[in-house]
Amino acid sequence: MASTNTLVSLERVTRKFPLDHNAVTALSNVSFHIDPGEFLAISGPSGSGKSTLLNLIGCIDKPTSGRIFIDGTDTSLLTSSQCSLLRREKIGFVFQTFNLIPVFTASENVEYPLLIQGVKTIERRRRVTDALANVGLSGRANHRPDLLSGGERQRVAVARAIVHRPSLVLADEPTANLDTQNATQLIDLMRDLNRTLGLTFIFSTHDQRLLEHTPRIVRLTDGCIISDTHSERFEGASREQVFAASVS
């Protein structure tokens, strides 16, 4: 059973995918937990299981075995509709390809999750205004994605991810399509939102620019955790702690 003090808890999670008459193991016996307010990277080479792990935490997929708790809820017991509700209420997503609706303005893209939730118009507009202000795009609210830079599009995606006030934000390779300047600005933005709003961020990356700003890094190789590192360079960590992952 997950502790009431954790936001995300994985217990011996394995994910296998069928391939012909065999199965490919994308994740094997993964266990760790994440507390509210953490800023955590899942790192590893291509094919190590990073995106699979994010999809499982985000309730987009379910493990072959093991359990995942989100804010105390055992997601293995949820139906598809219950998983959809949990995602809408508790999780925000940021994708490396932005996934913005091209015919919508920045404001309309950010507003879309609130429309799905049935939030009333006045409250929707207030939250959208706040979210765009939080990412520094108040002046670009009426611009469509094709009139925004890559960095601005990704900030719109971040605003959309936080507008419904989730407990958790998941980002899959968020800096992959950005140049160094825009990547640095995005990293600074996410860290600022993490500190000022207390948002919990979990993201997959092999981008060293992002890892250098990350207090905790969980490293994967061939679907297994090989290390879970907390850095003393960041506020809240008193010393360097490197934990060998338990796969027993």
Q: What is the pLDDT, as a whole number, of residue 164?
A: 93
pLDDT at 209: 82
Q: What are the structural domains of the chain?
A: 36-64+79-243 (3.40.50.300)
Calculate the CA dihedral of residues 75, 77, 78, 79 and round it to 10 degrees.
Answer: 140
> Would you state the pLDDT for residue 122?
96
Give me the residues paired with residue 92 across strands. Answer: 169
Stretches where the chain sits below pLDDT 70 are 1-4, 232-248
**Token pair listed for 238:** 């008193």
**Is 31 within 8 Å of 143 (Cβ atoms)?**
no
* Other beta carbons within 10 Å of 126: 12
User: For 85-135, how does the pLDDT look when each residue is reduced to its tens digit (9 = 90+)?
Assistant: 999 999 999 988 899 999 999 999 999 999 989 999 999 999 999 999 999
Which residue type is seen at 248?
A: S
